[in-house]
Amino acid sequence: MAAIRTETSDAVLTITLDRPDALNAFDRAMKDELL
């Protein structure tokens, strides 16, 4: 599951929440993926 996408550019990490069907609400899987 890829509910969180990351991109690094010039030493800046951008984290994108990608669950539009759930309005990007956190769930257990998303929390586990982030941590």
Domain chopping of the chain, boundaries? 4-34
Summarize pLDDT for 3-19 with one digit per residue, the tens: 899 999 999 999 999 99
Q: Half-sphere exposure (CA, 13 Å, Cβ side) for 20?
A: 0
Summarize pLDDT for 19-34 with one digit per residue, the tens: 999 999 988 988 888 8
pLDDT at 1 exceeding the cut of 70: no
Q: Which residues contact 13 (CB under 8 A, 6 or more apart)?
A: 6, 7
pTM, rounded to two decimals = 0.63
